[in-house]
Amino acid sequence: MPAQYIPILIFAVLAAAFPIVTLIAAKYVRPESKAVGAKLEAYESGNPIEGSARGRYSTRFYIIAILFVVFDVETVFLFPWAIRFGQMGLYGLETMLVFLGILLVGYIWLYRKGALDWL
């Protein structure tokens, strides 16, 4: 492991320890919880709870997740290209235009299918 990651490791341990230690400390400071009955139910604006929350959800969320994978992978491909772009010049521009062009066709198809509309 490169030496520069050692401070990050120390920091990560500190960063994880901070909330854990304060949570445990708070346990000894605060009064014991005496909650009973409706106070221990999930909050639904005072109404009796309607079944489990882990039911079925709008497929829109899944479509967004799939679209994210496609477009985020594309962004990740752009990162190394952007770093080395100064050395590649016109050749780098042409190749990336081809790549983005293919993606653009997909984007237009998605748009016309209505996949980008929430409603």
Partner 1 sequence: MRTLLIPVLCAVVIVALLPLIAGYIVLVERKVMAHMQARLGPMRVGPHGLLQPIADALKLMLKEDVIPTNADRLIFWFAPVASVAAALVAYSAMPIGPAFQIADLNVGLLFIVAVSSLGIYGVVLGGWASNSHYSLLGAMRSAAQLVSYEVAAGLALVSVLLLAGSLSMKEIVQAQLDQGVWFVFYVPFGFFIYLVASIAETNRAPFDLPEADSEIVAGYMTEYSGFRWALYFLAEYANVIVVAGVATTLFFGGWLRPLTRYHDHFPGTHVELLDVVPAFAMIALALYCFRLAPRQPLRVQKRVMAAAGVKCVLFAGILFAALFGSDAVREGVHGAFWFLAKVGAYIYCFMWFRFTFPRYRFDQLMRLSWQFLIPLGLVNVIGVAVAIVLRERWDWNPFFSLVPTTIVTLGFAAWLTADKLELSGTDEDIAAESAAVLPGSGE
The nearest distance, CB 109 to partner 1, in angstroms, is 14
Q: Cα(85)–Cα(79) distance, rounded to whole angstroms? A: 10
The nearest distance, CB 72 to partner 1, in angstroms, is 6
Contact positions vs partner 1 (CB under 8 A): 3-8, 10-12, 14-16, 18-20, 22-23, 25-27, 29-31, 33-35, 39-45, 49-50, 52-54, 57, 60-61, 64-65, 67-68, 71-72, 75-76, 78-79, 82-86, 89-90, 92-93, 96-97, 100, 104, 107, 111, 116-119
The answer to whether the CB of 65 falls within 8 A of the CB of 115 is no
Backbone angles phi, psi at 75, to 5 degrees: -60, -40
Cβ neighbours around 96 below 10 Å, total? 16
